[in-house]
Structure 1
């Protein structure tokens, strides 16, 4: 059974196949941007983890102060 692709805007669901060509193009644009944002969020998570590791390594490499 084929799944019917729908998009919900302002609480109203629409079948993508029944939208105008312009509206379908905007749906595709939104999908593209959402995919890119997810990829960027994944990269940000990696960079944040790396930054935390570098900060921890820096703390370990600093001289200990005597108080």
Structure 2
């Protein structure tokens, strides 16, 4: 069994989680956020912190998996 150097870190997992959360709704987002006001920026910050926490949790859990490919496979 060869050892693979392709590992996902916290940054990569954060980006992956953020992209999955955004989806296709990102196209309509600016017009909706303009109606809400500045509280929308706070919601983006909360979402970013949540995404980073989730990515960190997945990265830590993946370290405990002995299988090649982490927890997913």
TM-score (norm 1): 0.47
Larger Cα Rg: Structure 1 or Structure 2?
A: 1
Q: Is the helix fraction higher in 1 or 2?
A: 2
TM-score (norm 2): 0.44
Identify which of structures 1 and 2 has the higher relative contact order when contacts are C-alpha pairs closer than 8 Å and 6+ apart.
2
Q: Is the strand fraction higher in 1 or 2?
A: 1
